[in-house]
Structure 1
Amino acid sequence: MDQQLINLVNKLQDVFASIGVSNNIDLPQITVIGSQSSGKSSVLENIVGRDFLPRGTGIVTRRPLVLQLINRPATSKPNGNAEKPEEAMSKVQLNENNPDEWGEFLHLPGQKFHDFHAIRDEIVRDTEKMTGKNAGISPNPINLRIFSPNVLTLTLVDLPGLTKVPVGDQPRDIEKQIRDMLLRFISKPNAIILAVTAANTDLANSDGLKMAREVDPEGTRTIGVLTKVDLMDQGTDVVDILAGRVIPLRLGYVPVVNRGQRDIDQSKSISSALENERKFFENHPSYAGKAQYCGTPWLARKLNIVSHA
């Protein structure tokens, strides 16, 4: 899919969303699924290079978030040479007033958010406007565009994390509600499924992969993302999974290392996290020989390649 077609798809998604027609249109998009504890939000924030998603316990993503990442060149660079987006990812500048990076919501036309914490607040505000402050969910999407020289042009749909047992004020049928919503998105033949799974758990029990196999039994349009690779027991790795010897996927798997909760609580920057991720794979005996195919920059590039195919 070339750049002009991607731009057209983005515009169509905005138009359909604005008139209340979204889930029934089969447009090419990457749908992100996984359990609540899989590290889904951290994967998306690392791809963007910014903290912008709501965090907390229980269901945090309660509406589909249609995230359109749009690469745009930096306005100025001292040596006059523009960096490739995947190279810039490891040098993310966390200046909240960076004129080269901003977000725009479809429901707030003309308003630019250069402060990414304000983007998070607006996601929470608009979610609660639709669902209330309880733990209910809504199929009505939030459409967010992020313009940055540090991203590759992609459209991702972040969906609520899979859960099994309702807690607190969650509806008793919350598991069915979430499953039904996810199936509406991932059942579309043009949807690429990004199934996020923690590597320190049994892959056969992955909620995301199990749901993906319901609609994509041959694994032809599913990409596996393995998080928490750094938390695996000593002496274990995901080499067999990457080689397709466990649950094969035609589009393969990408292992990543995200910030842990302690890192987030201590405000560890994403740029530092990406650098630590790079060092982890380059120095790990199981991954050193294939480090270029591991980590967030490769994941973003792979998604960009798949979405252009």
Structure 2
Amino acid sequence: MGNRGMEELIPLVNQLQDAFSAIGQNANLDLPQIAVVGGQSAGKSSVLENFVGKDFLPRGSGIVTRRPLVLQLINCPTEYAEFLHCKGKKFTDFDEVRQEIEAETDRVTGMNKGISPVPINLRVYSPNVLNLTLVDLPGMTKVPVGDQPADIEHQIKDMLMQFVTKDNCLLLAVSPANSDLANSDALKVAKEVDPQGLRTIGVITKLDLMDEGTDARDILENKLLPLRRGYIGVVNRSQKDIDGKKDITAALQAERKFFLSHPSYRHLADRMGTAYLQKILNQQLTNHIRDTLPGLRSKLQSQLLSIEKEVEEYKNFRPDDPSRKTKALLQMVQQFAVDFEKRIEGSGDQVDTYELSGGAKINRIFHERFPFELVKLESDEKTLRKEISYAIKNIHGIRTGLFTPDMAFETIVKRQIAQIKEPCQKCVDMVISELVNTVRQCTQKHWALRKRSPGVSHFQSNRGVQVRQSEAGDDTVGLKRSFGNPRHPHPGHWERADLSRSS
């Protein structure tokens, strides 16, 4: 393949990416791409903005990237940006690009800091970029923010796995140099899905913020935690520089000066920095696409035959005939119902071999996560006995009782039962979140239904729905409290078997 043909490989895959995103089939095709992974404060956003030379990504505390961002960089004399969901509209002000990313994210995920695997496709044309496509994924976090579900860490991990477990996906693992790289979130994920380090490209940020007397030379020379594709160091703007609106061009010049003047990195200066990183990524992605092209062509042909067969089912459908339109819509809804039931019941023909989903995940929530949350509530037996003793004595008052009063039992048990409200609510939130994800997966096959699926997120985040969910949990706890069962063999303990029957 000639140089001209090689240059057209990345734009060709970009077109495929857009086409499959538009029809909702991207999850079924392993397109060659580079996924950017890292912790919340690793500096992923700064690396991507340095490529473009503009501030265009949302910033703030907590999880900022809440949907995958497919960033397609295209070398072009004119500088502007386009979104796949805003076809025909050119953005020349990159502040508006940031606002559109935030608005489009909220449209699908709601305002409660939720996340969604539905990607945003952004194409940036600029004379300052090389042809390159990157998928910016949400930063890994451990602590829920705002109204996020308690299992947000697992949700983000599951989303990352949808991308990074694919054989054709290269990993850009971004890690800050001023923290222990052995504990790097990005390198942990890379090690899990790419144990041989064949698909991983390491990026080390914040080299200028390391403690005095320390450096990352061994890492950058690929001696410590080696990767086949090696490591590249970059120096991003500090928060002070960003707040002060420091120009990215000036920041890149400062980065170059840092590597040339630092005694530990001077000999590596020609293989460090943002410009070199962008050049290497362009080369590696181009070569990766070339290597995977034969297999990709075979899969495309197979999918094309499958889709042609599906289209054959609608050959008699006429959009201008209202009766046929109603029939087709009814068929879609019925097929959606069948697909949803299969995913919940576990009898579908497409079995996910990478992660739990649908009914299996809900089963795990009920039989593993929920009992685990309840077991954490168990009281110390010594303390519980003391509380029971005090309750009995206080109920008898001045009298010396002959029998144990029922009220003592009821008082202690009611208080114990009241504690299960929070775990119940957590369980409800996690199950609803998985049901919403299942609905989204089922609508991927049908464009008309998929168009309406963002409404499910709105339904989930609707305050009235949340109140009814909470009331349902309160009713369950209230029913348990209203009638204690003194014949239960273990009234003071949450038994796993009993929990399984209750759930």
Provide TM-score, normalisation by structure 2.
0.56
The corresponding residue for 1:221 is 199
Deviations 1:125-161 (A, max 9, x none): 1000111111100000000000111001000000000
Three-state SS of the structure 1 residue aligned to 2:154 is: helix
The corresponding residue for 1:78 is none
> Aligned match of 1:41 in 42, 45, 58?
45
The corresponding residue for 2:190 is 212
Report how many aligned residue pairs link the two structures. 283
The AA in structure 1 aligned to 2:67 is: R
The AA in structure 2 aligned to 1:24 is: N
Superposed CA RMSD? 1.0
The AA in structure 2 aligned to 1:23 is: A
The corresponding residue for 1:193 is 171
> Aligned match of 2:86 in 108, 131, 140?
108
Which has the higher Rg, Structure 1 or Structure 2?
2
The corresponding residue for 1:63 is 67
The corresponding residue for 1:87 is none
CA distance in 1, matches of 2:275, 2:183: 27
Mapping of residues 147-226 of structure 1, within 5 Å:
147-226=125-204
**2:112 is the counterpart of 1:128:** no
Contact between 2:11 and 2:131, CA under 8 Å: does it hold in 1?
Answer: no
Contact between 1:135 and 1:171, CA under 8 Å: does it hold in 2?
Answer: no
Q: In the TM superposition, what is the alpha-carbon distance from 1:269 to its structure 2 partner? A: 1.0
Deviations 1:256-309 (A, max 9, x none): 100111111111111111111011001101111210111100110110110111
Contact between 1:163 and 1:175, CA under 8 Å: does it hold in 2?
Answer: yes
**2:51 is the counterpart of 1:17:** no
Deviations 1:210-238 (A, max 9, x none): 00111100001101110000000111111
Deviations 1:159-191 (A, max 9, x none): 000001212222111101100010110111111
Deviations 1:242-262 (A, max 9, x none): 122210000000111001111
CA distance in 1, matches of 2:51, 2:28: 27
> Aligned match of 2:270 in 258, 282, 292?
292
**2:264 is the counterpart of 1:260:** no
> Aligned match of 1:30 in 7, 30, 34?
34
CA distance in 2, matches of 1:25, 1:3: 22
Provide TM-score, normalisation by structure 1.
0.90
Contact between 1:197 and 1:203, CA under 8 Å: does it hold in 2?
Answer: yes
> Aligned match of 2:257 in 273, 276, 279?
279
The corresponding residue for 1:92 is none
Q: In the TM superposition, what is the alpha-carbon distance from 1:25 to its structure 2 partner? A: 1.7
Larger relative contact order (CA 8 Å, sep ≥ 6): 1
CA distance in 1, matches of 2:75, 2:28: 28
Q: In the TM superposition, what is the alpha-carbon distance from 1:8 to its structure 2 partner? A: 1.7
Structure 2 gap ranges (5+):
288-503
